[in-house]
Structure 1
Amino acid sequence: MLIQLDKSIEQDLFRNLHNLNENSLEVRAINNLAIAYRNGWHIIIGPLRILKLIKNLEHIDKSTKLVFDELINDYTFQKSYKDLVEEFILVKGLDGEPKRIENENETSYYYEAPLNYFNIVTRCFRSTLLCEDESDYDFYNKLVKKYIKENKEISGVDICFSSSNGGGVNAYKALERGINESRNPILAIADSDMKYPNSSEGQTLKKLKQKENQYMSTNIIEVYPLQVRAKENLIPPSLYLLGTGNSYKNHLKKLELIEKLNSEQLLYFNIKDGYKVKHFKDLRFMEYYKNIFLEVDDLISCSIEEIDKKTDDDEIVVNGAKGIVEKFTYYFLENGIEQELQSKKRLSNPSPQLLSVISEMEAILEKKENLFNNLPEYILEVILDLCKKIISWGCSKGNTYGTLGA
């Protein structure tokens, strides 16, 4: 995360200068912030006068002096780091608790934390990315790294998180545990579980928001609801068809028709689990989705009229596509396509059919290289907002030990 030292720190340090020693809270906090920078946990910026003042403090560690020497040399890049983020931590004052500061338009905010808050090193640990399960963390992490790689305006920046597995509906317990144990920055991402526009949010998200409201006044935390039903809805079916091998191919072709007919419905469609008979008894559900059930052939296993006659509410009538995000992650965000392409190219005496497959895979590889340029408009801003949020909370310059001569 971006940690910005406020100019007021200069007066605070000067006022206490004669009382400082190796065990002073201020000195310990500064040493801890330097540790965070050295390990690539956070980015630190601040006015040049503050950076020089801290570098020349008598009682800070030698390694801390090296860090602030590098920050001074890196000063000209500060604006580029600040432009990357929406949320950041402003270190202001010496004592107290962190607080969330709303900007004037109340559409964004940042955090203020006093310097001495960081005298406990765990509070300087890398931000935690709390997700509902490990596969969610893996997907978000690799999606953002792909975004950074494709975005030429972002150079010299990485993301650094520790993962926390929320365990679905118990995610709020993981959030509370992180707050009580380490108090490092925590970004929790949760599915909205919204069935259609203006429907209620899922229990996992509701409980996370309750904990956020309980602790947000004194902690650096945020709960970020996906602007779609679930992570499966972040990827359009047209890209799933390219990046998941042959899994669910026929079903995905049907979902691709929805993408062409009314792509907004894909923001809420239950791609992962599909639908059961009981869902068709929800009048608002039918009002929102009935047109695609009528227009997309074989999307449901029977006619709508026949569903009304079924007695087993739990009978599945629209298929789901479990595990599809994990397959997409392997093919598009890892090197799955490259590996399969190389294995086919190594085959001797390829048939015309195999050569055609190789040609198709090479075309897919080109789309993979420019993934974000190939996202349809209906989902582009949703994914960009997610990526920017994650970068704000996890931005890092990577491990800097080598550049510091340590």
Structure 2
Amino acid sequence: MDSLITAAARALAAGDPLGALNRVALRDDAPALALRGIAMAQLGDLVRAKALVRSAARAFGPKEAVARARCVVAEAEIALVSRDLGWPAKALDAARATLEAHGDLANAAHARYLEVRRLLLTGRLDEAERTLAELDPAPFPPASRAAHELVVAGIAMRRLRTRTARAALARAGRAALHAGIPALTAEVDSASLLLDQPAARLIARGEERLLLLEEVEALLASGALVVDACRLAVRDAGTVVSLARRPVLFALARALGEAWPADVPRDTLIARVFRTKLADESHRARLRVEVGRLRAALRTLAGVSATRRGFALAPPHAREIAVLAPPVEEEHATVLAFLADGESWSSSALALALGASQRTVQRALDSLAATGKAQSFGRGRARRWITPPVPGFATTLLLPAPLPGD
């Protein structure tokens, strides 16, 4: 490896892509193509970066397996940043195995971190934790240790373990300062801000207020009966009843939870749950059936008692009933929550992350675009969607994902 390639690599490791390009911008050999691709990725030109890294992988000879594997890892990172979640994971696994076999443990670990971050984005927290547990960050350079702690913090935030998240972010901040990479320090600072932004709304006894993530954690551990509109479930400290696939029952539970300790008139429930203004006897009969189903679903948590006017929740153990709602509620809120991370998403990546069909996601994006809440650029498979983040809200933290006890 010649001195210009070495100097460019060191510049990239220090977060100086322009310094790297000054040394290799006019070269077309395989190492230079790879370094140019990484530099362009750091500068934000992901399309050009992907093309350069692929060209470098093709240019390396058959005996340069490690170099080709590093290019695959770089392409995987570009795909992750550009939210191309359909990028083949098997290629990354093969590249990691090659790097491990040739003793390049630092880059093999980086491949693992990319895998964990992809699992985190798609809500597969259990798999992300298992994969992360296989890595010991101690022997790695500061930048890798910072990446490790950022992943730990990301999992902890989604698990509502705020103390663990704060401790991990503190370690990530120290590692980022040691690495001396401004972009990495900025990423840690941005992640830390999420803990100090409202993550949900509490609705209880006719009042409403915003909650930080640690307040959400305290609420769920308090013994109160929580109607969780973020994950469409009813829970207390030890039991979770998911109603995600039973929207009518959840709408009933939420209406009764918001009114508690008062009851809700039958006509009000019919109008809210069945979305009709004119209630007839068929609606009242259906309401009785759905209330019976809700009683059966919540039998381990609460009863649903009939009153002269309507129905009310009657928890046998919980002292309080509260409704936990997203900080911002509107149509297609989950799609907006993903777009609000500041990255550009394809409709296929959103479909993977949300567990929905691509056509459903596309309809949601078209609806958001019609109201000016999302915009796209590119065409065909290169089409990407973005939206400005909602100021002051950590919307992505409470997307549907399993919590302890789910």
Same fold (TM over 0.5): no
TM-score w.r.t. structure 2 length?
Answer: 0.32
Larger relative contact order (Cα-Cα within 8 Å, sequence gap ≥ 6):
1
* Structure-1-length-normalised TM-score: 0.32
